[in-house]
Amino acid sequence: MKRSFRQLVLILLLITLLPSRVRLKDITTIENTNQISLIGYGLVIGLNGTGDRSSGNRGSAFTVQTISNMLEKFGITVPPANLRTRNVAAVMVSSKTPVFGRVGTQFDVTVSSLGDATSLEGGVLLMTPLMSMDGTYYAQAQGAVSIGGYNIETVAGEKLRKNHALVGRVPNGATLKTALQQTDFSLDEPVRFLLTDPDFVTASRIADEINLQYGAYTAGDVNDKTTKGWLAHPLNAGVVELTHPDSIDSVEKLVFFVADVETLWVDPDIEARVVINERTGTIVAGGNVRISEVMVSHGNLTIHTSQRPIISQPGASFSNAGKTVVVPITETSVNEEASTAAVVPETTSVSDLAAALNEMGVKPRDIIAIFQALKVAGALNAKLIIM
């Protein structure tokens, strides 16, 4: 346990030492490029007996009905009661429209089992229409399903499983059929960058970097943050507006200009957060997290209860009337480990705290409780998020 915890400490140290500057395109998106969520209902065929059940109380009636309806379109009439197949599974298909997509653009879709199938391995998705929430038809999907794993069950009840076999993807399996809302650039409108994580400091730094790189300060006072001659203006914590220079006189030049701006390196301001997943015992803390001076004491109380059987055998004189009796004897032991305490100095970083807890021999589950107690005590100068 200590070895794995030291590895965690090393990872935290490496993350802290990594450079914080990132490309503009990695923390922003361009306005009017919102994607539309799509969903559809379809069938996956070609399964090796791992599809939905077609009979019994646990059967998927909608799968049988769908197969029957599909066969009728090909001129084959088969009553649903006569269908007995385990090679077909009903699935829901979901995806989003591609950014700047045109009619004919291909994109990936996710396929998820809807019935009681055991695996989608080796299946092929039949032609499935994809629609938006308002029922507008946008695309159709079809192709081989890739699950990246397997789920094997033998007759004897043995199971061998790798990854999740009931959800897969169809790479480039969908084709856009309906034109999206026009998202081309216009010389009459400014380009707006939307921050993935809105922050006033980050927005102002993005605007400063753009104006410094493209010499926009020559149009006004460099110390005047409201100068209208600037190319970039932070409208709020989540939007930075970019006006193209006068030398940009065509849409093609504007595209090259925006592409150049997206490669600028900026220094985002990251909010101090500690994210805890209690289900898995995972703790992720940012490099800006600071801890005020506090004393941490840790100790374990272990109560172990066990039973051992005592066999009572009757003597020879009672061999006819006596019976052998098994009497359980309960033993209880209490083991209280010595408490360990450490004083954490003020403005301690996460890596320093992790090293201190490592010296105390604290386990990950206990670290979660310590972080929660630090927040209640007012010593954790960060936002605590529990998943």
Q: Average per-residue pLDDT in the chain?
A: 78
Among the candidates 159, 176, 193, a domain finishes at 176
b (16+ CB within 10 A) / e for 128-159: bebbeeeeeebbbbbbebbbebebeeeeeeee
pLDDT per position as a tens digit, 42-83:
999 999 888 888 665 555 788 888 888 888 888 888 887 777
Q: Is the pLDDT of residue 41 over 70?
A: yes
Query: Is 145:123 a contact under the CB 8 Å cutoff?
Result: yes
236 lies in the same domain as 287 = no
Per DSSP, 285 falls in state: E
317 lies in the same domain as 373 = no
pLDDT confidence band for 94 (50 / 70 / 90): very high
281 lies in the same domain as 253 = no
Residue 38, token pair as written in the block: 């799509």
Query: What pLDDT does residue 96 have?
Result: 93
Among the candidates 266, 292, 323, a domain finishes at 266
The beta-strand segments (E) located in 6-136 are: 22-23, 28-30, 37-45, 89-96, 106-113, 124-131
Helices (H), 242-325: 251-262
Residue with tokens 């800006």: 288
Q: Which domain holds residue 218?
A: 22-31+183-266
Query: What pLDDT does residue 350 have?
Result: 65
Query: What pLDDT does residue 206 have?
Result: 93
Query: Is 293:344 a contact under the CB 8 Å cutoff?
Result: yes
Q: How far is CA 171 from CA 23, 51, 78, 94, 107, in A?
A: 28, 21, 33, 13, 7
Other beta carbons within 10 Å of 109: 28
Domains contained in the chain, number = 4
42 lies in the same domain as 172 = yes
Query: Is 344:361 a contact under the CB 8 Å cutoff?
Result: no
pLDDT per position as a tens digit, 328-368:
665 656 555 655 555 656 556 666 666 666 666 677 777 77
What stretch of H or E contains 153? Answer: strand 150-153
Query: What pLDDT does residue 48 have?
Result: 87
Which of 234, 231, 226, 242 lies closest to 201, judged by CA? 234
pLDDT higher at 209 or 230: 209
Query: What pLDDT does residue 129 have?
Result: 96
Per DSSP, 17 falls in state: H
Mean pLDDT is lowest, of 182-191, 225-234, 240-249, for 225-234
234 lies in the same domain as 325 = no
13 lies in the same domain as 43 = no
Q: Is the pLDDT of residue 38 over 50?
A: yes
Other beta carbons within 10 Å of 285: 23
d(CA 167, CA 69): 25
Helix, strand, coil % over all residues of the chain, rounded to 5:
25, 35, 45
282 lies in the same domain as 382 = yes
Q: Is the pLDDT of residue 293 over 90?
A: no
Query: What pLDDT does residue 270 have?
Result: 80
Query: What pLDDT does residue 16 have?
Result: 47
Q: Is the pLDDT of residue 287 over 80?
A: no
349 lies in the same domain as 238 = no
Residue 373, token pair as written in the block: 């107690």
156 lies in the same domain as 43 = yes
330 lies in the same domain as 379 = no
330 lies in the same domain as 344 = no
Q: Is the pLDDT of residue 3 over 70?
A: no
Among the candidates 132, 151, 176, a domain finishes at 176
56 lies in the same domain as 170 = yes
